[in-house]
Amino acid sequence: MVLTPLTGFVSLTTECCVNCMNALSVFARVATRAVPVSAALPVVLLLGCQRDVAAPGTAAVGPAAPGFDILDGAHDNGNLHFYFLPPLVRRPGFSGTFDPTQSPEVDICKLASGACVAPLVARFTRDGGRGPETIRVDPRHQAFVVEWRTRRFELDDGSVYRILVLLSGIELGHADVVLRRGRHHGDQDEHDENDEDHRVDHDDRDDVNRTDGSFALKLGRTLPIRFRIERGAQPFGHVFIVTEENRNYADVIGNSSMPYLNSLAQQYGLAMQYDANTHPSIGNYFMLATGQTITNDDSYSTVVTMDNIVRELLKASKSWKSYAEDLPSVGYTGPGVGRYARKHNVFALLSDVVNDAVQVHNLVPFTQFQTDLANGSLPTFSNIVPNLCNDAHDCPLSTADTWLKNNIAPLISSATFRRDGLLIITFDEARTEGTNGGGRVAWVVVSPKAKRGYRSTTLYQHQNTLRLILTGLGVTEFPGAAAKAADMTEFFRP
């Protein structure tokens, strides 16, 4: 541990210490080091937690100081293809290949109650021209770097700021920084113009923080933000979609018959102007899979050869499955049987599936979903198809809501989903409306990366959802209308 000239104080974030004596002993060891009187500085001991985990047999308590967080491949089970580098953290271990072709974005926001406060403090991109405030490739460190010159921004002493790295407008990871004023031994005057270029070096950081949970930076310093994006990086590790049936937006949102879905809509993101594409059902499912309606004949049985979601996923080396409730058997591509409807599972009509002896086995009964979830073997993309009763086609909305609570709630609470999941719940078409072809329907997004309680009034349709699914998995080519559809990143941007 060292007391550095960077901060003028010691910041200690413990990994949810259950005995503060441990932290005090750390402080004592720092205090006993020989520090010249001329360099003596105020020492502030910050005790905090990255997670509110209680000791065995005790109640959980919140952090005693401003919460700090860092999320990347080396911290908090973050994206395994994304890493912050010094000086923000100690150099992590990684084994992937750096990908300099990516076009990341760095956003900086002020935190309040753990959430970003509008407006953004800064936004850096690779397209901002030349110079240190443009994200550029750092060949020496096999990383991207952008310099945050804090003197150029209106920043608040003692406040916590979050540095977010985004890919395709969706967060890959973040790191929190606390800004402090103060004059340190050997510094120029606080207002000396030369101080603007005082860059933070690799070792010029609060090294006492063993958990990398906080980083203290003096106002006026320039912080090189270095991060590594490797091949295979994608905003989400797992994407899921559940499509329900034949209800108007007003039938669903605010309806007491669907308390679970409405609770998700209130907690996460809701598209308030989302229109289906056509009537009846099948064309909407094809739009979600191919970017085209293909047909409005629900009895359609011709194998479709045009570009589709499976083709693009396979080109990008992504895995997939379609989990269909009451599917007669693995690999079944025949017509509807009982409460299973092929018109709601058009993956069984895609040439990339039907004509491939391997891919056809990714058409599986829904019972396989619980098994894959329990075993940690979910694919990167999961298409979830409830049967004709549980999707509200033949049964009340309350039945569909109960099914969601019983089958989707365990997914949302799983470690897999909490790490890198994205869930979309939507309806194929409206019951009595025809706006923009299929009428206004409910569309809800759930993710640890989604804005909380967010409401969008932007017009979206199923091609936008197809684009979001592929973008979220790092795919850059889009079938049909998804190629020109607007991104839905407003649900995730700070």
Q: What is the pLDDT of residues 393-447, one digit of tens each?
A: 999 999 999 999 999 999 999 999 998 999 999 999 999 999 999 999 999 999 9
Which of 177, 201, 229 terminates a domain? The answer is 229
82 and 120: one domain? yes
- Written as six digits, the tokens of 337 are 């049987």
Which of 229, 255, 290 terminates a domain? The answer is 229
212 and 310: one domain? no
Q: What is the CATH number of the domain that holds 301?
A: 3.40.720.10
Is 64 a residue whose pLDDT tops 50?
no
167 and 120: one domain? yes
pTM of the predicted model, to two decimals? 0.80
Question: What's the whole-number mean pLDDT along residues 133-157?
Answer: 92
Which pLDDT score is estimated for 129? Answer: 54
Give the other-Cβ count within 10 Å of 66's Cβ.
16
398 and 433: one domain? yes
Range of the domain at 126: 65-229
Which of 182, 205, 229 terminates a domain? The answer is 229
Whether residue 38 is contained in a domain is answered as no
223 and 244: one domain? no
pLDDT band at 69 (very low <50, low <70, confident <90, very high): confident
User: What domain count does the chain have?
Assistant: 2
281 and 413: one domain? yes
Whether residue 130 is contained in a domain is answered as yes
> Got the DSSP string for 256-271?
TT-HHHHHHHHHSEEE
**What Cα–Cα distance (Å) separates residue 112 from each residue in 68, 224, 258, 449?**
11, 24, 32, 17
Which pLDDT score is estimated for 113? Answer: 86
Whether residue 46 is contained in a domain is answered as no
Whether residue 50 is contained in a domain is answered as no
217 and 246: one domain? no
475 and 381: one domain? yes
218 and 304: one domain? no
460 and 373: one domain? yes
pLDDT band at 78 (very low <50, low <70, confident <90, very high): confident
> Got the DSSP string for 444-489?
EEE-TTSPTTEEE-S-B-HHHHHHHHHHHTT-----GGGGTSPP-G
**Lowest-pLDDT choice from 40-49, 162-171, 360-369, 415-424:** 40-49
121 and 266: one domain? no
214 and 337: one domain? no
Whether residue 11 is contained in a domain is answered as no
Whether residue 199 is contained in a domain is answered as yes
Whether residue 177 is contained in a domain is answered as yes
Give the H or E element holding residue 146. strand 143-149
Whether residue 1 is contained in a domain is answered as no
End-to-end distance of the chain based on CA atoms, in angstroms?
34
- pLDDT (tens digit, 9 = 90+) per residue, 276-325? 999 999 999 999 999 999 999 999 999 999 999 999 999 999 999 999 99
